[in-house]
Amino acid sequence: MTSLIGRELRGTTCVLTFDRPQALNALTEDMEAELHEALDVAEGDDAVRAIVLTGAGRAFCTGYEMGPRPPASSTTELLRRRWDTYIRGPRKLMHVMELGKPVIAAVNGWALGGGFWYALCADVTIAGQSATFGQPEVRQNANSSVLFAALAGWKNAHRYALTGDHFDAAEALRIGVVNQVVPDEEVLTTAVALADRMGLLPPDALRINKAVTTQGMYAMGLANALSANAMLSVLVTAAKDAPEMAELTRLLAEGDMRAFLTARDGPFLPEPGGPRSRPRPQPAEPRG
């Protein structure tokens, strides 16, 4: 079977790469399972001191793959499906947060939906200048993540979680969801250099000081918030029978992704940030 996660050891740093560039690194079940297996392997490798997560091609990760699914035979079956999917979601993010080795996200291009969440749960996030973030799936009755509010604050998170709007790397830096913005061609090298710097620490210092932050945030309620997030996600993603959802549901069921995305995102164009936005206004030329 073709690997969906690239693995490379650069000195003491393990670089893991979402490797479905033809699909803008959209996540499948197999791909996500392989990612977490790779994280565990890196965790158990004494030669690895830190991990960098990045994406092949034009995207970091564009979230979970969408497409037609067999209709549920009943509301009970639908809720069970949603429960099985979404109740596990926080554990995947917490797995990254609980690793004994730091994880640095090197975000190139699109980081949307579930890809955005992986950028949020990383210990450090480096973004390229053309990186674009967002959760456009909320426009189709899908969920946000409480991690967004934990990092960006209530009002910043609501500005984007309640519209699904894209935002660019400069805005991501302003609101606190990335640590640094660098030229696109320097994203991976910057992330690896920082990982190498972290690797100079004794392994126990890395492991325990990461746990200080993670367990401290859990004690402040983050773990419970993520669990509540999962249960509410079940409800919002199961609410597909609202009149506003009828056309989107039909297009998605037919597998017409272009028409689906046009219907979903068209009313929101132009986006405030990223490739589908209006150009930023340029400052006026000074007059002599």
For 210-262, give the secondary structure using H, E and C: HHHHHHHHHHCCHHHHHHHHHHHHHHHHHCCCCHHHHHHHHHHHHCCHHHHHH
pLDDT single digits (tens) 197-225: 999 999 999 999 999 999 999 999 999 99
How far, in Å, are 137, 167, 256 from residue 263 at the CA level? 12, 20, 11
Element (H, E) at 161: helix 154-161
pLDDT the model gives residue 80: 81
CA dist 203 and 213 (Å) reads 16
The ranges assigned to domains in the chain are 5-268
Task: Tell me what percent of the chain is helix, strand and coil, each rounded to the nearest 5.
Answer: 50, 15, 30
Looking at residue 68, its amino acid is: P
Angle between helices 246-254 and 257-265 (to 10 degrees): 160
pLDDT number for residue 249: 84
| 35-78 confidence digits (pLDDT tens) | 999 999 999 999 999 999 999 999 999 999 987 667 777 777 87
pLDDT of residue 161: 97
Separation of alpha carbons 16 and 105, rounded Å:
10
Starting from the edge strand earliest in sequence, which strands make up the sheet with 59-61, in order? 59-61, 110-112, 132-134, 167-168
pLDDT at position 1: 62
Q: Given this model, what pLDDT does residue 274 score?
A: 84
Q: Fill in the amino acid letter for 87.
A: I
Q: Are the C-beta atoms of residues 272 and 167 closer than 8 Å to each other?
A: yes
pLDDT for the residue 156: 98
Predicted confidence at residue 284, as pLDDT, reads: 57
pLDDT of the residue at 7:
98
CATH 3.40.710.10 fits 5-268, yes or no: no
* Per-residue pLDDT at 241: 67
Residues of the chain with pLDDT under 70: 1, 68-69, 241, 278-288
pTM of the predicted protein model = 0.91
Would you state the pLDDT for residue 73? 73
Query: What is the reported pLDDT for 242?
Result: 73
